[in-house]
Amino acid sequence: MRKLFFLSLMLFALSAVPTKAHKNAQQDTRTIRSGELWPDSDGQHINAHGGGILKFGDTYYWFGEHKSEHTSDALVGVMCYSSKDLLNWRNCGVALKVSDEPGSDIERGCILERPKVIYNKVTGQFCMWFHLELKGRGYDAARYGVAVAEKPEGPYRFLYSQRANAGTWPIEFGQRELSVVDTLQESNFKEAWTPAWHKAVGQGLILKRDFRSGQMSRDMTLYVDDDDKAYHIFSSEDNLTLHIAELTADYLHHTGRYTRMAPAGHNEAPAIFKHEGTYWMITSGCTGWEPNEARMFSASSIWGPWTQHPNPCVGPKAEKTFGGQSTFVLSLGNRYIFMADIWRPRHPIDARYIWLPIEFENGKPVIRWQDEWSPAIKENP
């Protein structure tokens, strides 16, 4: 009897001491290590690329592209992971599934990139927007897609996809700008990338080309401002100019009010946040899956004017965004996390994540490389 008592006491004591493996697993998820594998709660590398984060209640939801072993085409859809501390993530499954119906806009094998989700307080719906390319057409369609769900993790119902703001000029185009647009003819520019062509692109050469059919919509993000107005920010005009387009109150359509940002500046991968009344936008140049130098802009109104600043990255490979490309900035009260993707086009599922804190120096954001750090979430409101 006494023997049994001691045995059970020992077993109890042993169960309270974490085994080495268990301890290591706990330590592994106490820090963010950009560029390394990031296992979810099942031990699988997180598969949510070109992603963004929504906080709902006390939970963070990470949405991103599911990537496969050998292709970046969408064979599965948009994944969702949840976490309370931004370190330990649970796989909530496929939030938006690609369709098996031939001819569907989101048919399996389409390109579905950079999904972002925002919550609409009025309708109580979760609204997902993403960059969509129709199956078999490369990057020609240049559309945005919209889906909704009643719960953050989905399932999301696909609503529609299209090009942006057909038949509408940006808000800054008055009589003067429109009379210049009238004079622009694509046939006058046999050669692209000349100074004259650049100037014409800035004045609206490609905007005019796509005026009737709708503006191209590729790399994108969503932003909800303090007044609950939401905006869709996307690479348009052959990726030469970003557009910032206001959303309707239900966050499911454009209102038709939009502005062009950095015309002819060739920006992709927009990520935006607001700090003490200033909007900051981080973007990349356009070199496909290859990393390039991050760009940064600021404005006191989302409608601009936007001012360009030097690259905010500091540290090894800072001139190549540490080997990554921006996707999102997560705001935690007055702290911010810069999120980027290290693409692996030959083994897409193995793409890695860069998450780094944004610091402020002399009033400007700085993104300093850190091998390892912790966001130390203390549930900021």
Interface residues with ligand GAL (CB under 6 A)? Answer: 50, 113-114, 219, 268-269, 286, 288-289, 325
Instruction: Name which of 332 and 367 has its Cβ closer to ligand GAL.
Output: 367
* Measured distance CA(328)–CA(271) in Å, rounded: 5
* Measured distance CA(270)–CA(164) in Å, rounded: 17
Instruction: Name which of 142 and 200 has its Cβ closer to ligand GAL.
Output: 142
Instruction: Name which of 115 and 152 has its Cβ closer to ligand GAL.
Output: 115
Who contacts 20 (Cβ-Cβ below 8 Å, separation ≥6)? Answer: none
Report, in Å, the least distance between residue 346 CB and ligand GAL: 13
Report, in Å, the least distance between residue 372 CB and ligand GAL: 26
* Nearest one of 84, 175, 142 to 375, comparing CA atoms: 84
Instruction: Name which of 208 and 243 has its Cβ closer to ligand GAL.
Output: 243
Instruction: Name which of 125 and 284 has its Cβ closer to ligand GAL.
Output: 284
Report, in Å, the least distance between residue 113 CB and ligand GAL: 5
Report, in Å, the least distance between residue 342 CB and ligand GAL: 12
Strand order in the sheet with 77-83: 49-56, 59-65, 77-83, 90-97
Helix, strand, coil tally for the chain in percent (to 5): 15, 40, 45
* Measured distance CA(231)–CA(238) in Å, rounded: 20
* Measured distance CA(192)–CA(208) in Å, rounded: 16
DSSP state of 46: P
Give me the DSSP letters along 78-114. Answer: EEEEEESSSSS-EEEEEEEEPB-STT-TTBTTBEEEE
Report, in Å, the least distance between residue 234 CB and ligand GAL: 11
* Nearest one of 140, 136, 132 to 162, comparing CA atoms: 132
Report, in Å, the least distance between residue 239 CB and ligand GAL: 8
Instruction: Name which of 172 and 290 has its Cβ closer to ligand GAL.
Output: 290
Residue nearest to ligand GAL (CB): 288
Report, in Å, the least distance between residue 136 CB and ligand GAL: 16
Instruction: Name which of 184 and 269 has its Cβ closer to ligand GAL.
Output: 269
Report, in Å, the least distance between residue 299 CB and ligand GAL: 22
* Measured distance CA(19)–CA(25) in Å, rounded: 10
DSSP state of 39: B
* Measured distance CA(95)–CA(115) in Å, rounded: 10
For residue 236, give the H/E element and its range. Answer: strand 230-236
Instruction: Name which of 32 and 112 has its Cβ closer to ligand GAL.
Output: 112
